[in-house]
């Protein structure tokens, strides 16, 4: 008898899972339930569609629905929301607009993604309040931007999505207020780095307000009255770009174990604690190789990879996902900010004897046109193991350079290993001493242990 795999969620993780499952076992029936009207799009591209950098919404979609149905034999059902899970009975319920129905499964993969947290006032459902997770929201916002309806906006949350949205709106001529509850932008970064980001944001005329919250939100005619701290002002739009909570409601209610931020706990084969239920993408906590325990860092590359592993294993194949080191990069106007592993604050909070070594290098030979400064901060045990790194610079110098440190974290390298790395050099692309080598040499210098 044909086995049935049901996938909840048709985002990057869900469609990767469905495709991998069909590839592993072409006889498998694969049903994907997607609550919204689009599948398999790059959520991370939304700011660039809203800014007009990407012209058409279709460009963000990896493959159209027909591709999955016709080429990959996947039963993709859009506008279909999963509403219940009976893990013991191997059954789910769903609603496709024609009332609640039931579907049995042999194996289930949950890739329900994340839900933007909307604390307090931001709970307001309003056509002028937007999140940055759904293509529908992005299309709606882009229309309003294109017809000139939005001249002022407040972006709530100055994490990487909030920063990208501030840039997007400034690009479109909008006067932007960026509000962050924490004392600095990107609360997961250390202070000297965030100073550079804040300077860049303010240089582009963004009204950055730190250490303050949005306490009230009210619709007045075409506009929104927003109370930021003690001050009430009027804006054309509000963008909610705060934190994300793992969307684990159904499996959690069925008894699945969860960890940080409500994210589902999984093993390296993406199995949850429920029988025959797998999970992948933004709704799971992944093993952090530096911390040595599950962490909730919902990003696109891991969503794709874990979806693929879940789909392969659920279909009877073998695959595993070793874990993450927390690598990320964000463009903030002309600045490129890249990070991997732990920040100093995180390392100290873990009780590690951590220090920071900073160095300033160049993105190309200093005499070659377009050479830009690259700041490197290495977080490491005194004279020992690498724990993390941050790189900041103009242009795209830091973006792929951080990967050297990411691989070094995967390998468990120490500072002395870093200093000896054989990295590529040619004047148009790199200086003879890569910034990371300068930093590693500076870190190793006090004890003369290596180059």
Q: What residues between 26 and 45 interact with its own copies by CB under 8 A?
A: 42, 44-45
Angle between helices 397-411 and 435-444 (to 10 degrees): 50
Per rule CB under 8 A, is residue 121 in the interface with its own copies?
no
Is the CB of 205 or the CB of 367 nearer to its own copies?
Answer: 367
Please choose, out of 75-83, 146-154, 352-360, 395-403, the segment that lies near its own copies by the rule CB under 8 A: 395-403
Distance of alpha carbon 223 from alpha carbon 51, whole angstroms: 21
Closest CA to 210 of 182, 187, 186: 182
| Rounded least distance, CB 293 to its own copies, Å | 16
Per rule CB under 8 A, is residue 349 in the interface with its own copies?
no
Please choose, out of 96-104, 172-180, 306-314, 350-358, the segment that lies near its own copies by the rule CB under 8 A: 306-314
Is the CB of 26 or the CB of 420 nearer to its own copies?
Answer: 420
Is the CB of 240 or the CB of 402 nearer to its own copies?
Answer: 402
Per rule CB under 8 A, is residue 299 in the interface with its own copies?
yes
State which of residues 38, 105, 235, 413 lies at the interface with its own copies (CB under 8 A): 413
DSSP-based three-state secondary structure for 326: coil
Is the CB of 112 or the CB of 409 nearer to its own copies?
Answer: 409
Closest CA to 161 of 244, 284, 40: 244
Cβ(244)–Cβ(303) below 8 Å? no
Please choose, out of 63-71, 220-228, 343-351, 425-433, the segment that lies near its own copies by the rule CB under 8 A: 425-433
Please choose, out of 32-40, 117-125, 134-142, 313-321, the segment that lies near its own copies by the rule CB under 8 A: 313-321
Alpha-carbon distances of 73 from 29, 53, 82, 332, rounded to whole Å: 8, 33, 21, 40
Per rule CB under 8 A, is residue 210 in the interface with its own copies?
no
DSSP-derived letter for residue 125 is -
Per rule CB under 8 A, is residue 426 in the interface with its own copies?
yes
Is the CB of 259 or the CB of 326 nearer to its own copies?
Answer: 326
Per rule CB under 8 A, is residue 389 in the interface with its own copies?
no
Name 98's Cβ contacts closer than 8 Å, sequence gap at least 6: none
Please choose, out of 112-120, 212-220, 240-248, 363-371, the segment that lies near its own copies by the rule CB under 8 A: 363-371
Distance of alpha carbon 13 from alpha carbon 299, whole angstroms: 11
412: region left, alpha or beta (phi > 0 left; psi from -120 to 50 alpha): left
Distance of alpha carbon 393 from alpha carbon 405, whole angstroms: 16
Beta strands in 382-427 (DSSP E): 386-394
| Rounded least distance, CB 271 to its own copies, Å | 15
Cβ(240)–Cβ(131) below 8 Å? yes
DSSP 84-108: EEETTTTEEEEESSS-EEEEE-SEE
Instruction: Point out the catalytic residue in the list 8, 31, 43, 44.
Output: 44
Does the active-site annotation cover 336?
no
Per rule CB under 8 A, is residue 69 in the interface with its own copies?
no
DSSP 336-388: EEEEEE--HHHHHHTT--EEEEEEEEESS-TTSTT--EEEEEEEEETTSBEEE
Is the CB of 190 or the CB of 434 nearer to its own copies?
Answer: 434
| Rounded least distance, CB 218 to its own copies, Å | 35
In the structure encoding, which two tokens stand for residue 222, read together?
């075409």
Is the CB of 217 or the CB of 303 nearer to its own copies?
Answer: 303
State which of residues 88, 382, 423, 446 lies at the interface with its own copies (CB under 8 A): 423
Binders of its own copies: how many residues, by CB under 8 A?
76
Per rule CB under 8 A, is residue 401 in the interface with its own copies?
yes
Question: Residues with catalytic annotation?
Answer: 44
């Amino acid at each position: 008898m044909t086995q049935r795999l049901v996938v909840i969620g048709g985002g990057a993780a869900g469609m990767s899972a469905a495709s991998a499952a069909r590839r592993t076992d072409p006889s498998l029936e694969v049903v994907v339930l997607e609550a919204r009207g689009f599948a398999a799009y790059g959520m991370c591209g939304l700011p660039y569609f809203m800014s007009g950098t990407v012209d058409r919404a279709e460009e963000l979609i990896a493959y159209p629905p027909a591709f999955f149905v016709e080429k990959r034999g996947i039963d993709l059902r859009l506008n279909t929301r999963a509403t219940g899970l009976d893990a013991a009975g191997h059954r789910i319920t769903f609603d496709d607009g024609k009332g609640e129905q039931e579907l049995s499964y042999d194996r289930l993969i949950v890739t329900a993604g994340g839900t933007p947290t909307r604390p307090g006032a931001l709970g307001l459902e309003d056509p002028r309040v937007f999140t940055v997770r759904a293509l529908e929201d992005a299309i709606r916002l882009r229309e309003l931007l294109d017809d000139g309806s939005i001249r002022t906006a407040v972006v709530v949350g100055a994490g990487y999505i909030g920063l990208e949205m501030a840039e997007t709106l400034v690009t479109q001529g909008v006067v932007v207020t960026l509000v962050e509850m924490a004392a600095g932008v990107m609360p997961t970064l250390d202070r000297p780095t965030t100073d550079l980001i804040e300077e860049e944001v303010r240089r582009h005329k963004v009204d950055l307000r730190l250490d303050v919250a949005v306490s009230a939100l009210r619709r007045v005619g075409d506009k929104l009255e927003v109370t930021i701290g003690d001050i009430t002002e009027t804006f054309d739009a509000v963008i909610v770009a705060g934190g994300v909570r793992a969307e684990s409601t159904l499996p959690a209610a069925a008894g699945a174990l969860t960890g940080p931020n409500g994210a589902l706990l999984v093993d390296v084969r993406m199995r949850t604690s429920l029988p025959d239920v797998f999970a992948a993408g933004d709704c799971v906590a992944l093993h952090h190789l530096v911390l040595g325990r599950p962490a909730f860092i919902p990003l696109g590359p891991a969503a794709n990879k874990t979806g693929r592993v879940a789909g392969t294993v659920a279909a009877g194949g073998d695959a595993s996902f070793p874990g993450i080191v927390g690598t990320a990069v964000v463009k903030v106007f002309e600045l490129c900010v890249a990070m991997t592993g732990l920040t100093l604050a995180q390392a100290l909070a873990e009780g590690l004897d951590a220090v920071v070594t900073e160095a300033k290098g160049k993105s190309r030979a200093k005499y070659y046109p377009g050479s830009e400064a690259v700041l490197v901060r290495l977080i490491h045990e005194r004279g020992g193991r690498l724990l993390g790194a941050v790189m900041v610079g103009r242009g795209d110098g830091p973006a792929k350079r951080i990967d050297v440190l990411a691989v070094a974290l995967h390998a468990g390298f120490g500072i002395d290993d870093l200093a000896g790395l054989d990295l590529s050099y040619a004047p148009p692309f790199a200086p003879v001493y890569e910034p990371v080598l300068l930093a590693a040499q500076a870190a190793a210098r006090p004890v003369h242990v290596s180059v």
